[in-house]
Structure 1
Amino acid sequence: MFAGAVFAVCMAGTTLPTPLYGLYQEKLGFSELTVTVVYAVYAFGVIGVLLLAGNASDAVARRPVLLAGLGFAAASAVCFLLATGLDWLYAGRLLSGLSAGLFTGAATVYVMELAPYGGASRATFVATAANMGGLGCGPLLAGVLAQYAAWPLYLPFVVHLVLVAGSAAVLLWLPETVRERRPLNTVRPQRPGLPPQVRAVFAPAATASFVGFALFGVFTSVSPAFLAQSLDVDNHAVSGLVVALAFFSSTAGQLAVGRVGVERSLPLGCAGLFAGLALLAGALHWDLLPLVILSALVGGGGQGLAFRGALSAVAEAAPPDRRASVISTLFVVAYAGISVPVIGVGVLTEPVGLEGAGLVFIACMTVLVSTAAVYLLRRPARVTPSRS
C-alpha cells in the first residue's frame, strides 16, 4: 500500500498543471497551439525513458530508480514554481515525462514484488489504481487549490513538493526487492520490435491504445479551454474534476477486464471509445456540459478496457524473449497518441476554432477505432497462455 501511495504521488504530478494552463496563458500570453505543445513535451520524455532506460530497475534495483523519478518530479514542480516564460514550462513538462517514464514500469513491478504471498491480484489492483488514480488526482487537486485557495500557480506545486518529500522518506523505509544488482552501464536501450506472430494481434491493439491515449491527451490539454470558452465554465475545480473523471473511469475499466475477460475487453473497449468520441462530438456541437462529463466517463472506461486488453493480448502473443521489446513498442505507440494528435488539434485551432479542431480530431479518431473494431470482429484476438 505504501509503494502504491508513492506511485500515485508521482503520477499526480504529471497532470497537476492541467487546469492551470488557462492561467499560464493569461500570465505569459501564448496560444492554444502552444498549450498543446507544452503538454505533448511530456510524452517525448516518457517515450525516451521507456526506450533508453525502461529496464534500469532490473539492473540497479527498484528504489534508486524510483528515487530518481521522484527527483525529476520535484525538479518539474520547481520549474513550474519559477515559470516566468515558456522555457520553464517546457522544462517542467519534460522532467515530468522523465519521472513518469521511470515510474511506469519500475513502480508497477515494485508494488507487485512487495505484495505478501497470495496477494498478486490485490497488488495488481493497487498498481492500476495508483497509476490511473494518481493521474486523476493531479488535476483534481490543482483545480480545487487554484479555485479555492491563494496563489493558484504556486500552491499546487508546493503541496506536491511536500508530498514528494514524504514519498522519498517512505521509499527509503521500504525494503529493496532486487537482490542481485548490476552496474548502471549494463542497462541497454530497449529496441522496439514485432515478431511475425505478434503482428496480427498488435495492429488493432496498438490502434485502440493510440486512440485511447489521444482522447486522454485532448481532455488533459484543451478541455479546460473548451469549458471556459464555449460553456462559460471558468471554475478550475470543475475543469479538474472533468479530467479526473476520465482517469478514474479508466481505472474502473481496467479493473473490469477481470470480469469480462481479456478477449472481450479489447472490442468492448473500442466500443466504449467510439461512444466516448460520439458524446464528445455532441458536446462540441451543442455546447453541453453533461455530454462532456458523459464523454469522460464512457471514453475513460473504454480506454481502460481497451488498453489493459491490448497489453494482455500482445504480451501473451509475444515469445518470452521478445516480450519486453513488444510491450515497449506498444507503449511508444500509445504515448505517441498523447502528442501527435494533440498538437494537430492545436494547429487547427486558429484557422477553424477550438470546436472545429475538436470535431476534426474526433472524426480521425473515430475512423481509427472503427477500423480496429471491424478488424477484431473479423479476426478476434485470441489470447493463449504463453510458454516460458
Structure 2
Amino acid sequence: MTDDRTQLTDDTELARPGRVKVLAFPAVVYAFAVVMMGTTLPTPLYPEYEREFGFGSLMTTIIFATYAVGVIAALVGVGQFSDTIGRRPMLYAGVILSLLSAVLFLVGGSVEILFVGRLISGFSAGIFTSTATVAVIEAAPKGRRKMATAVATAANIGGLGLGPLVAGIVTEFAPYPTRTIFVVHAVLLVIAGIGLMVVPETVKVLKGARPKLQRVSIPPSVRGVFTQAAVGAVAGFAVAGLFTAVAPNFMGSVLDVSSPTITGLVVFTLFATSALTQILTSKAPVRTSLMIGYVALAAGMIVLIVSLEASSLPGLVVGAVIAGASQGLLFSKGIAAIASRVEPHRKADATSAYFVIAYLAISVPIIAVGFAAEAWGLTTAGVVFAAVIGVVSIGSLIGLLRRPKDAI
C-alpha cells in the first residue's frame, strides 16, 4: 500500500476458507488454551517447591499472587496494543513470554526465579486475555461467530483448569516432578507458535500509529451497577485463588492426599465447572443469574467449611463444583450487567476496571489466607475465609434484592 495505511492483510487473504475457517480458528483456540494452561501448571507442584526450597504456605500464596500482578500490568499496559499494531504480534508476544516462563521454571534453582517466572506467566496471560478473545471471534468461520465467544471462554477457563490436571498427571508419573511438565509445556507452546503462522492479520495498522495505555476507570453512569457486579466477581475470584494456591497444601497436610493427579483434578473441577456454567447460561437473565450465583456461592462456602472441618475429600470436590459454577455465573453476568449499561465509548474503561479488581481479588485475599495459615493453621484459615466469602455473598444478595428490578 502506498497511502497512509499499512494493510497487514487484504480481503483476499481473509476470504481463504482453508486458512481461516479450517486452520486459523483452531490454531488461535489452541494457543489461547496452552498459554492460559501455563499459569496454573505450578498448582500441584507447590508442595514440592516447599520441600525443595524450605518455605511454607505464606510464601506459596505470595508466589501465586505474583501472577496476578503480571496479568494486571499486561491488561493496563498493553491491553489495547493489538488494536494498533495488530493481533498476530501480540499473540506471538504472549506465546514467547509463556515459553520464557516455562524455561525459568524448568531451570528453577531459587525462589527468586519462581517469582520472575510467575510474573512473566501472568503477563503472557494478560496479553492473551485481552487479545486472544477478540482473535478467536475474528477467526471463527462465518455463521459460527455466535458460538465463538463460548469457545473463547472454554479456551480461557478450560486452559486454567487443564494446567493443574496435566501438571498433576505428569508430576506423578514422569521423572523430575518439578521439571518435566515445563518441558511438555514448552513443546506445546512451540506448536502453538507454529500454528499461529496460519492465522491472518485482521487489523489494518495506521502508519505511525502509537499504542496507548488502557484507561482504567468506572464511568459515573454505571457506578452503582459496577459495585454490585464487582463484589460478586471479587468473591468468586477469591475462591478460585484459594483452590489454586492453598488447596494443594490443605490436601497434603490435612487430608493426607499426596497424589498430584488428585490435587490437579480437584482444581480442574472448579475451572471446568466455571467454564461450562458460563457457556450454558450465556443467554440467561442477568439479575436472576446474579441472585442464583450469590446463593450458590454461599452454599458452596458452607460445604467447604464442613469439608475442612471434617477433613473430607468428597466434600472438597462438591465445594469445588458449587464454587466453580457460582464463580462462572457471577463473573460472566457481572460483566454483562456493566456492558449493557455503559456508554459504548467507555466500555473498554469499565471492563478493564472490572478485570483489574477481579485479579486483585485472586491475589490479595489469598496472601491474607497465607498469613492466617501461618498463625492459625490451614484449616482455621480456610474456615474463616469461607465464612467471610459466605457473608459477602449473602450481603450482596440482599443489596441486589433492594435495588429496583430495572437497575440491574
Larger deviation: 347-356 or 371-380? Answer: 371-380
Aligned residue among 326, 330, 337 for 1:313? 337
* CA–CA distance in structure 1, aligned partners of residues 280 and 401 of structure 2: 21
Matched, 1:106 2:131: yes
**Matched residues, number:** 383
Aligned residue among 264, 267, 275 for 2:291? 267
* CA–CA distance in structure 2, aligned partners of residues 77 and 87 of structure 1: 15
Q: Is the 8 A contact 2:298 2:391 kept in 1?
A: no
* CA–CA distance in structure 2, aligned partners of residues 331 and 142 of structure 1: 26
Aligned partner of 1:234 in structure 2 is: 258
Q: Is the 8 A contact 1:66 1:102 kept in 2?
A: yes
Aligned partner of 1:374 in structure 2 is: 398
Aligned partner of 1:89 in structure 2 is: 114
Aligned partner of 1:251 in structure 2 is: 275
Instruction: Provide the alpha-carbon RMSD of the alignment.
Output: 1.4
- CA distance 1:375–1:30, change in 2 (3 Å): same
Q: Is the 8 A contact 1:38 1:93 kept in 2?
A: yes
| Equivalent residue runs for 1:59-74 within 5 Å | 59-74=84-99
Amino acid at match of 1:24: Y
Task: Tell me the TM-score normalized by structure 2.
Answer: 0.91
Task: Tell me the TM-score normalized by structure 1.
Answer: 0.96
- Rg (Cα) greater in structure: 2
Amino acid at match of 1:78: V
Q: Is the 8 A contact 1:272 1:303 kept in 2?
A: no
Aligned partner of 1:5 in structure 2 is: 30
Counterpart secondary structure, 1:317: coil
Deviation (angstroms), 1:253 = 1.2
Unaligned runs of 5+ in 2: 1-25
Amino acid at match of 1:53: V
| Equivalent residue runs for 1:1-388 within 5 Å | 1-181=26-206, 183=208, 186-379=210-403, 382=406
Question: What do residues 310-336 of structure 1 show as CA deviations (whole Å, max 9, x unaligned)?
Answer: 011111111111110000000011001
Deviation (angstroms), 1:258 = 2.7
Deviation (angstroms), 1:20 = 0.3
- CA distance 1:38–1:182, change in 2 (3 Å): farther
* CA–CA distance in structure 2, aligned partners of residues 183 and 383 of structure 1: 43
Deviation (angstroms), 1:380 = 5.5
Amino acid at match of 1:230: V
Amino acid at match of 2:369: V
Deviation (angstroms), 1:256 = 2.3
* CA–CA distance in structure 2, aligned partners of residues 17 and 204 of structure 1: 33
Show structure 1 runs of 4+ deviating over 4 A: 181-184, 380-384
Deviation (angstroms), 1:119 = 1.3
* CA–CA distance in structure 1, aligned partners of residues 406 and 276 of structure 2: 23
Question: What do residues 30-57 of structure 1 show as CA deviations (whole Å, max 9, x unaligned)?
Answer: 1110000000000011111111111111
Deviation (angstroms), 1:381 = 6.4
* CA–CA distance in structure 2, aligned partners of residues 119 and 264 of structure 1: 28
Unaligned runs of 5+ in 1: none
Question: What do residues 217-236 of structure 1 show as CA deviations (whole Å, max 9, x unaligned)?
Answer: 01000101101111110000
Counterpart secondary structure, 1:21: helix
Amino acid at match of 1:88: I
- CA distance 1:381–1:129, change in 2 (3 Å): farther
* CA–CA distance in structure 2, aligned partners of residues 52 and 66 of structure 1: 15
